[in-house]
Amino acid sequence: MKNQENALKEVKTLLKKHSISYLRKAFGQKFLIDFSILERQIILADITGKDKVLEIGAGLGTLTRKLAEKAGKVYTFESDKKLAHALEKEVSVFPNVEVIPEDAVKSPFPPFNKCVSNLPYNISSPIMFKLLKHDFEHAVLMLQKEFAERLVSKPGSKDYSRLTVLASLKTKIEIAQIVPKTAFYPVPKVDSVLAVINPIRSPFEKDLEERLEDLLRVLFSRKSRKVRKVLRSFLNKKIQDKAFTKKIVSKLPYAEERIKFLQPIQFINITKTLIRLLEEVGIGWEDVFSGTKT
Any idea what the CATH number is for the domain that residue 122 is in? 3.40.50.150
Amino acid present at 182: T
Q: Do 190 and 213 lie in a common domain?
A: no
State residue 22's pLDDT score: 64
Which of 199, 232, 262 terminates a domain? The answer is: 199
Give me the mean pLDDT over the 2-19 stretch.
Answer: 77
CATH number at residue 285: 1.10.8.100
The residue ranking higher by pLDDT, 207 or 54, is 54
Is residue 20's pLDDT more than 90? no
Instruction: Quickly state the pLDDT bin for 24 (edges 50, 70, 90).
Output: low
For residues 193 and 224, state if they share a domain.
no
Comparing CA positions, the residue from 104, 113, 108 lying closest to residue 57 is 104
* Domain finish residue from 199, 223, 257: 199
Tell me if residue 75 falls in helix, strand or coil: strand
25 pLDDT higher than 80: no
87 and 127 assigned to the same domain: yes
Among 21-30, 121-130, 222-231, 260-269, the range scoring the smallest mean pLDDT is: 21-30
- Contact present, 65 and 217 (Cβ < 8 Å): no
Q: Give the pLDDT confidence score for residue 9 in this predicted structure.
A: 80
Structural domain that includes position 131: 2-199
Q: Which whole number is the average pLDDT over 99-125?
A: 96
Report the relative pairing of strands 31-32 and 184-185 from DSSP bridges. antiparallel
Percent of the chain with pLDDT over 70: 95
Over residues 66-107, the pLDDT tens digits come to 999 999 999 999 999 999 999 999 999 999 999 999 999 999
**SS3 of 54, please?**
strand
Average pLDDT, the chain: 92
Average pLDDT score over residue span 48-57? 97
Whether residue 95 is found in the same domain as residue 178: yes
**Phi and psi dihedrals of 128, rounded to 5?**
-65, -45
Look at phi and psi of residue 177 and say left if phi exceeds 0, alpha if psi is from -120 to 50, else beta.
beta
pLDDT tier, 285 (very low <50, low <70, confident <90, very high otherwise): very high
Residue 115 and residue 194 in one domain: yes
Same domain, 9 and 123: yes
Tally of structural domains, the chain: 2
CB 40 within 8 A of CB 66: no
**Is there a single domain that holds both residue 57 and residue 171?**
yes
* Same domain for 247 and 274: yes
Indicate if the pLDDT at residue 145 is higher than 60: yes
Give the least confident one: 33-37, 99-103, 161-165.
33-37
- The structure's pTM equals 0.91
- One domain, residues 179 and 114: yes
Can you tell me the distance from the alpha carbon of 45 to that of 40, in angstroms, rounded to the nearest whole number? 9
Q: What percent of the chain has pLDDT over 90?
A: 80
Whether residues 172 and 87 fall in one domain: yes
Say if residue 200's pLDDT is above 50: yes
Q: How confident is the model at residue 294 (pLDDT cuts 50, 70, 90)?
A: low
Task: List the beta bridge partners of residue 171.
Answer: 199
How far apart are alpha carbons 44 and 46 in whole angstroms?
6
pLDDT band at 16 (very low <50, low <70, confident <90, very high): confident
Q: pLDDT-derived band of residue 8, with 50, 70 and 90 as boundaries?
A: confident
Contacts for 114 with CB less than 8 Å, ≥ 6 apart: 45, 47, 51, 52, 53, 54, 71, 136, 137, 138, 139, 140
Say if residue 125 is in the same domain as residue 15. yes
In this structure, are 245 and 280 located in the same domain? yes
Per-residue pLDDT tens for 227-284?
999 999 999 999 989 999 999 999 999 999 999 999 999 999 999 999 999 999 999 9
Cα-based torsion angle of the residue sequence 105, 107, 110, 116 in order, rounded to the nearest 10 degrees: -20
Grade residue 26 by pLDDT with cuts at 50, 70 and 90: very low
Compute the CA torsion angle 273, 163, 108, 140 (nearest 10 deg): -130
Is the CA virtual torsion 35, 108, 47, 199 positive or negative? positive
Give alpha helix (H) positions in the chain: 2-17, 35-45, 62-70, 81-90, 124-131, 145-151, 162-170, 206-219, 227-239, 242-250, 264-280, 285-289
